[in-house]
Structure 1
Amino acid sequence: MRDPAGVETAWQLRLLGDLRLAGRAGDVRLPSRAATALLARLAMAPGRAFGREELIELLWPGVALEVGRNRLRQVLSTLKSLLEPPGAPPVLQADRLALRLRDGALACDVPAFEAACRAGHTDAARALYRGELLPGFYDEWIGDERLRLAALADRLDSGVAAAARMPASPSTRTPPAPAAPGSAPSPPDMAWSAPPLPRYLTRLHGVEALAEQLQQAVREHRLVTVLGPGGHGKTRLAAEVAQRFAAAEPCFDTIAFVPLVACRGREALLDALLVALRQEGRAGTPLALIGALLGDRRALLVLDNLEQLDDAGVGVITTLLERSAGLHVLATSRRALGLDGEREFVLPPLPLPAAADDGDDVALAANPAVALFVDRARAVRADFHLSSRNRDAVRALVRLVEGMPLAIELAAARVRSLPPPQLLALLQQAAAAPQGDALALLARSGPRGGSDPRHASMLAVVQWSWQLLTPEARGLLGALAVFAGGFTAAAAQAMGSPAATPTGVALALDELVAQSMLRLAADDERYELPELIRLFAAATLAPADAPALRERHRRWVTDWARGLPLDAPLHEARAELANIAAAIASAHADGAPGDAAALAGALQGALTDLSLPPGALRALADSAAAMAHAEQRALTRAFVARALLRAGDPAGATQQADAALAELPPGGLARAQVLARLAHLRWRTRRDAAVLGWLDEAAGLADAAGARSLQASMLATRGAIMRPRDRAAAIALQRRSLALWAEAGDRHGVNTGRANLAIALAESPAGCAEALGLLDQVLADTRAGGDGAQHAHASNARGEALSRLRRWDEAADAYRDCVRIAFALPEPLPLAYGLWNLPRMLARQRRPLDAARLMGFAERHAPVHCGPLGRSDRRDLLRLRRLCARQLEAAAVAAAWREGAAWTLAEAVRHALEPPP
């Protein structure tokens, strides 16, 4: 046997399917279960050094350390005598602290199998996987590894090779190959999947070895929790490890960073996961949606700040890990989660310099804690350096805060105005001062870490930094604690005291950033409030002030939504999604249905294409019942109905729509808005031509109010109703709606109008050239504006136009673009359309087996998201079967159809995106 690098070895160890150890002289029997487990652990991670204490806990959990050391020495001695007879080369490398296999000494089928999976060598991987890992062994770690390897094997059996993983993380995705000369350009993959991983503008000090250890732990364990007090750098380290996975290893299909600062319970956690995975606007129970999205992907979720989650919230993590065999979770928390299989990774403080001056200035400067202090001090004073005047104070400062990174940064920021000796004196005074209620809140007692003495040092730094702020900065910081997901300078201005001037708020923001109480995001457009500082600031508020600040926050969100221009890019609006959801939730919790109504009304403008998390939609629907005015209730329910329809929940949408219609008052623009929305919904769900009467009434009201975008929307709906009966009339209506959207300056409406007109034109080959021109405009604008759903719909429509022209290859590429983008978002409706339409092109490309398999899946998948199949859909299925049967025996087509019907969504998408042979 050769190792994964292809090097011939003296020993070969088989662990998959059975146990076999073979040398050049033949098979050798391992003497004990402990010897087998130890050799297996070393062989499965070649090149890694295992700490002796780690191996003791692995082999004999809970045993006394001295007993474990004796047992390990005995087992190691037995293995050495077996593997290293006189004259043979060494196999095991052992020192006082760790054990490892020597390079090239032993080959094992497990790393060879994993290497074949990573390289996409499916046949080689199948040959290596002869069965489950170490059958008959029931150690906990072996069970975890057995499940992980079995999941890899299952993916191979399903045809999902590691080399074909998709969609890749945005930071690892390779660019598309250039188009062949003379071929029509196809829309590029916009790689809209999980949001980008956090990036930092400052250097990371003293954790290189820890990052490597944590990366290895995440590879080997499905749940790893980074533990440590607040301000210890847990988030930064987890983000660094996620970046390493994304940049250097094809280890995970999907990597998502999920900030959970404001999450306390199960529903908030699910909403945060849905937003991070771009699943927030979908229909269905959140847990099922997340499980369906993860499916059989090998995914890494970085769950940041979990210590405040209740038991129900923590239970969600267990459920996801049980349902998704390829899921790995890297969590950060101040306390262990207490879940089975959890691997605790305790993050120590930065190494500290010696207490006394040993005269070695080079060693002092190289100490990670001192290096961090100097680096952050130079950010505010470029001429700062260690000298005989300050080195003792710097040494004492980093020791006083016990190497906590955030504490060091907060202290170093004061070097702008205070030399280190004065800074040290102030810190020592703050540490000795009595602590108030806010500090007591931050110094949580009991198992949540309050007993950790390092908290006192951290709180001393926070208290001292707070006391040194100007009153204006203190007041602003308390107000900023109500934000979720960051904020802009304009938002901060709105939250400042009524007497504050724009200049005063700008100066206060600058002061907060300068003191490391606030940080500016890498895009230089939004501010982020670190969790500890936010908690501290919130705790300083008087109980009577918090409701007023939440109300001010709701007012700001509402004003922001009202003022958003119709041509605003959606990716800019998405940045405020967390604040929108928080405002809706606080309106419901504070018993302010009027605020919820005002916010829903504001969202009906430019943000109708922005999906809200399910929790926010439920809160909005519940608030509607308590609204005082029937018009408010109807508008809000109509808004919720549209959101539910877009999420693929026609039943829920219909329920909200019927409630809105039942209490809709006569007359006014509000009635026109509700009728237009309900007409569109009723036509989509029931194909009820009676909605033309609603549109007639709404049109009169909208004309009187001069509401061009609303008029355009109604004309578009009327055109869709007319298209099956009178295509010429439908085209005329779509042209009029496009012109009205253009007059209104509604960017998203214009793209909708272009796509609607293109769809009507493309029903005749004569109109396809104009349709393709319109769709190219939509694709270019939606790519720039971040409207992924519209982009996917336009790609699907482009495929239809190209297929009318019998340009099969280009049409197939357009459908693949639709599938790729919709799956990455995810957007279920365009994804269902793309998967339904692509098989026709595959059959035209003389790929009948691929076409039959994919349509077998689409026949089962499409009704879930698009409603029951109609007569035209059944005709499509029949035509495709006949087309495939002309190229292949009917029995083979039927077998392929059944095979595709059993696929998962991830398998179907992978096959759909495979290029032609």
Structure 2
Amino acid sequence: MAGGGGPRVRVEVLGPLRLLVGGEAVDVRGPKRRAVLALLAVAEGRVVPVDHLVDALWPAEVPESGRQALHSHVSRLRAHLGPAAVRLETWQEGYRLALGQDELDLAEARALLAAAREGGAREPAAAYTLLRRVHAIWRGPLLADLTEVAPVAAAVEECARLRCEVTDALVAAAIAAGEAGSVVDLATASVAEAPLREPAVLLLMRALAATGRAPEALETGRRYRSRLAEEAGLDPSPALAGLERGIAGGAAGPASPRHEVPVRPTTRLFGREAQAAALHRLLAGERLVTLVGPGGVGKTRLAEEVVRGDRSATVLLLGPVTDPAAVPHALAAALDLDVVQGDVLAACLAVLGDRPGLLVVDNCEHLLDVARDTVGRLLSACPRLSVLATSREPLGLAAEHTFRLAPLPLPGPGQDLARVPSVALFLDRADRVRSGPPLPRADLRTVADVVTRLDGMPLAIELAARRLSTFSLADLRDRLDRSLDLLGGAGPSGDPRHRTLRATVEWSHRLLAGEEQRLFRHLAVFVDGFSLDTAEWLAADLGLDGDPGSVLARLVDASMVIADLQGGPRYRLLETLRAFGLDRLTAAGEDGAATGRLLRWAVELTGWIGATMRTEHEPRADAVLRRELPNLRAAWRLARSRGSLDAAAAVITALFETVGYRDLVEVRGWAEELAGDPATATHPRAAAVLGTAAEAAYHRGDHPRAERLARTGLDLATDDAGRWQCLLPLSVVALARGAYAEAVEHSLAAAVTGAGRHRENLGIAALASAYAGDLDRARTLNARGLDDAVSPSMVGWGHYVAGEIENRAGHLGPAAQHYLRAVELCRASGATFLVGVATVGLVTARAGAGHVREALSGYREVVDYFARTGNWTHQWTTLRNLADLLRRLGDPEPAALIDAAADRAPDAPAVGRGAPVAPAPPGRPVPGRTAVLEVARAAIERNLA
């Protein structure tokens, strides 16, 4: 059955409230219960939230038992519905009354009105008959006993507007069907109810003229014109004059509507097809859509595209308006109204009335308050009007749907560059200013670099393309670091705000409050965006008044900061805005303080990363490190250029775990760079810096340098942290050169320092013991280390060591399980180096167990991995293990070449070192690093095939 299960139900709200179940009227008593029924009915099948119902029933103060009382009313309504009680549905957020279209008189009236409008032009007589039926649905005063309930009163107003629409449509259909005489009284009553409603006046004039009463029709027009001037201070629309001329000439046809045809765009729009289609869809269902984005992103141009060809659209340009009091006058001008006295805005509302149409309000940001108030009044007074606003921040109205416009898509790998919208825009605009042939395809990569550095901002791209009348493409690219000043010239609209890119940004900046401007310019030092935590830290450090989150939200609303909410909030400044912010810092004399804050931020953040990586929250610290690496890079270079040794030392020593386990080669380079600074030798953190650099040198395969740095640092160490950071690389260097007793000694010494607990020291001692043949001692040491392990990578390290011990013992199954667990834990925590070494062990165990194909595929992956990270110490171990497998597979030649290369390499570990198992093949030179990788890869592929 329509609307749900059970017998037929009908609710009537276009008059006194009435409920019928199975065709029988049901008496619903009590104003609150009747109000609940009315509110559920006018929702037309939508769920009405409980809070909405409670607030409607008790607007002053909700009693403690309010929700229970509402539940009681709903239960009694179900009793009234009887066998149709299932129609009143309970949802998690509220209640819903399931009714079919013909079971609610309001829905029925809407549907019949739509049907009549659709067929009216083809069959006016049928439309007239249908509209008489619609008009008869109204039965008297609407919900008269419930209008004290605010939402019901709002619904009554909506129903009254619908009745006006039905009345107008009925009068128009009667005139078209030759039945004007039957509606003259109805048209007269409609004008009496709203004397300044122009559509009703025009219809009455047409009905009178159609029944031979032309003088009365003209007198009606004259009275309306006079009253409109006296009460509203304006002249009527041109439609009245057109109708008067038609009636005086003997015609009674419809008045010619005013057509405001938007200016047709003169340039092609690139890359906005999806956004234009989305806006068309939104405007079909939303009454207010605000197109929001930073200056120069193309909001006005997209709005022009949306209304192109829409003859019902009116465009209100607020860009040239600087006085808030002039906004109503600008609207009147857009509507072709000449208002000589009275309330100008009221005059505009009277003209717009209840006719359908679209109003574009362009550039609201500098007049936000008056734009908000004006649009609010328009939406309230003109029920069939839709508004498309453009602004750098939302208007802040409840009915508003915010549509954020992002810059144009940027070139990506493998794309046809000429078809990328940002590149295509540049090429199109460049062709307009350059003489000669178009830019050759060989230049597309340079164009892609230009548009990427301009963040895909259409205004910046257009201005840059114009500069090709002066510069070559390469010259333009090389000067983009001065883009704010370079990209000058008249903008496409002639608006002075578009004369340079800097002026466009300054326009937005001036609209910010002082605190907002201050936070904005200090955020500019972050080259790759920032988190909410960072913004709050900065606001607190600046001593800003109020809630930092609110200030940041205001910057986002104003399109000065871009928010990316995918995968956790991240914020950034477009490059043009960031450059402007840096300029503002200099102008305010705050650039030194801002860079100092960036260094403090880097020190505090890396301190938190280093401490957190030693806990169970290591994966979070790893994610933050990788996300903030570009900002940390900027801070590092700043510290080095300013000679801020304290900051540089604090950052690099806090990142010891990163240097050791994360294959971030860049950070390892920082450590060695700082260790080479003569000023480091006398710094309080000298030992920790040298120890961190020693760890970096070890991973690079320079074991002698690693040992020298560590021993020098150990001599300088004055605290446990410095001693530990030097003892650890000493232990792994000793392990690599086969000095197992020394490796155990250094590891145990490191383990008893205050910084050594929960670390890898006992595992290193266990490895040295295992490689020396003492498996029992190795198991004991590693068990102690696993007991102390806290972070996922250290637990993974313990499993890797256990795998090595069991592998040495020939227990390949248990060894493989330990390796797998190590890989799982270390991959989840970002410890990529440990993933690599554990994978080597796993592949070796699989090879020993006869899983040859798996082992060969695993070796291929690990060889490529260590080649990417440059860690030849562990690459040589991997290659030696591969050589063992190749020899067992009957492929001795590449195995001999690999062994010969490893024996010659100074950075190859001593594990397995000795005389080559087989000499290099006669006539074949011992391969170097590049050649040995080619030998290994070819052998893997050959044996896999």
The TM-score range, normalised by the shorter chain, is 0.3 to 0.5
> Which is higher, the Rg of structure 1 or of structure 2?
2
Higher relative contact order (CA 8 A, sep 6+): 1
